[in-house]
Amino acid sequence: MSDPRRDLLRDQYDLTWALFEYHLERLSPEDHLWEPGPLCWTVHHRADGRWHPDWAETEPDPVPVPTIAWITWHIGWWWSVTLDHVLERPVRERTEVTWPGEEGAVPWLRELGAEWREALEGIDLDAPTAFPWPEGRTRVDTAWWVNAELMKNAAEIGQLRMLRAARG
């Protein structure tokens, strides 16, 4: 017998992913590093070939507008760490998760999406988890958070992509 919570989470994830995929299919390499204004968070190419995201331990005021590159790194970071937690793997530090560049970002996100979809089928939804909150939550909480966070980030990417296209 199926768990109605898992069915709902799966359906919600599939809808969110379909909305996200609409924008992923249309992203061009030039979209990633486009800065919509003077106060932006983005990623910077280092001498060692890795991309380094802008970051602050305390959110600045005003909050910088992120580039699509920064948002795709952010998704990759939180999703990688979430998968580490729910699949009980060693949890990576934020600084260990690097952006794969304009050509690699979309395939990376699709891989994470497929890995999450598979994990969602098998994780124990009632198992306790402390990620991304303090203790006292279960993996069902983590799963609904992933759906909500992904929808928010997909909307941000879509809005940036459409603004860049509208500006020519």
Q: What is the DSSP string of 73-102?
A: HHHHHHHHHHHHHHTTPPPPPGGG-----T
Tell me the CATH number of domain 4-167, given options 1.10.3470, 3.30.1490, 1.20.120, 1.10.3210. 1.20.120
Q: What is the pLDDT of residue 107?
A: 98
For the whole model, what pTM was predicted?
0.95
pLDDT digits (tens, 9 = 90+) for 58-70: 999 999 999 999 9
The C-alpha atoms of residue 32 and residue 35 are separated, in whole angstroms, by 9
Question: How many residues make up the chain in this entry?
Answer: 168
- For 66, half-sphere exposure in the C-beta direction (CA atoms, 13 angstrom radius) is 22
Where do the domains of the chain lie?
4-167
Residue 74: count other Cβ atoms within 10 Å of its Cβ. Answer: 21
List per-residue pLDDT tens for the chain, 168 residues long. Answer: 689 999 999 999 999 999 999 999 999 999 999 999 999 999 999 999 999 999 999 999 999 999 999 999 999 999 999 999 999 999 999 999 999 999 999 999 999 999 999 999 999 999 998 788 778 899 999 999 999 999 999 999 999 999 999 987
- Cα dihedral 29, 107, 104, 56 in deg (nearest 10): 90
pLDDT digits (tens, 9 = 90+) for 5-26: 999 999 999 999 999 999 999 9
